[in-house]
Structure 1
Amino acid sequence: MSGRKSAAAMPPRRRMAQNYLVIWVDGNIDENNSDCRNTLAQLRAVVSDVNVCTSPKECVQFLNEIDDGKAFIISSGALGQSLVNDIHSLPKVDAIYIFCDNKARHESWAKEWPKIRGVFTSIKPICESLKKVA
């Protein structure tokens, strides 16, 4: 136990962000691929509800079907621009992460959208960011 005092109204920190779900949107997701499985395992270690979509349309449909809670979107750079345009205004979308190999290519347009938390080439900093909301 630490010596820090916390306000009585503050709930204890939880490891899993239960009120949140993650939607990973990438046209190249192959759950038989070891890299994809590893990425999903890292995400599920932080957020229990991780969903995979392979198109922006599928992601929008999924978002329209959920009733409550907040969604974190992890999008490939290739699908990101059109997807962000479609979902940025939705209140249930809390944050968007662009996950791609070419950071420089996507940073300029990503800066224009307040909900985008950044462009990442590794899943680890995305997981670290998700832990902070837990």
Structure 2
Amino acid sequence: MSAASRLVACWLDSNIGVTGAYPELKQQFSGVSERIEKWHYFDSGDKFIQFIDENPNITLVTIMSGHLAKTVVTAVSDRTSLHSVYIFCGNTAKYRSLLLNEHKVKGVFNSEDDLYRQMYSDLHQEFP
């Protein structure tokens, strides 16, 4: 992360991305790293892609639902601002193949606690 680059997080999910939805979960993840300046929530891939295109000078950490990650990850994996993707879904086996093809995908999780622990570990190691 360069000195000019800000660490930002996005959550892309058709349910969690809705304004006002899942406030406890959003509050929990807001504490995953004090280096994250802001969290953004999106309920569609188009809005998320537009955000990335309009913010090339950030370092972006994302959580995506498996369904949206299946189409969005390949569309944005070449963006230099995209640092990492964590997939949060009910069926990990269905989306685990994304790990094989996309080096920015850090894991596929069906437990919010496991996802939080992995993100916490990764972010504290990479952005101390």
Question: TM range, normalised to the smaller chain?
Answer: 0.7 to 0.9
- Alpha carbons of structure 1 residues 67 and 85: separation in structure 2 relative to 1, 3 Å: closer
- Alpha carbons of structure 1 residues 113 and 90: separation in structure 2 relative to 1, 3 Å: same
In 2, the alpha carbon distance for the partners of 1:113 and 1:103 equals 15
Bigger Cα displacement from structure 2, 62-71 vs 75-84 = 62-71
Larger radius of gyration: 1
Q: 2:9 aligns with which of 7, 13, 22?
A: 22
Deviation at 1:67, TM superposition (A): 4.2
Q: 1:1-134 maps to which residues of 2 (within 5 A)?
A: 19-29=6-16, 30-33=18-21, 36-45=22-31, 46=33, 47-121=36-110, 122=112, 123-124=115-116, 125-134=118-127
- Alpha carbons of structure 1 residues 112 and 69: separation in structure 2 relative to 1, 3 Å: same
In 2, the alpha carbon distance for the partners of 1:74 and 1:113 equals 14
Give the letter for the 2:106 counterpart. Answer: R
| 3-state secondary structure, aligned to 1:111 | helix
8 A Cα contact 1:28 1:54, kept in partner: yes
TM-score (normalizing by structure 2):
0.79
Poorly superposed stretches of 4+, deviation over 2 Å = 30-33, 125-134
Of all paired residues, the percent bearing the same amino acid is: 23
Extract unaligned runs of 5+ from structure 1. 1-17
In 2, the alpha carbon distance for the partners of 1:110 and 1:118 equals 7
| Equivalenced residues, count | 115
In 1, the alpha carbon distance for the partners of 2:29 and 2:124 equals 10
Extract unaligned runs of 5+ from structure 2. none
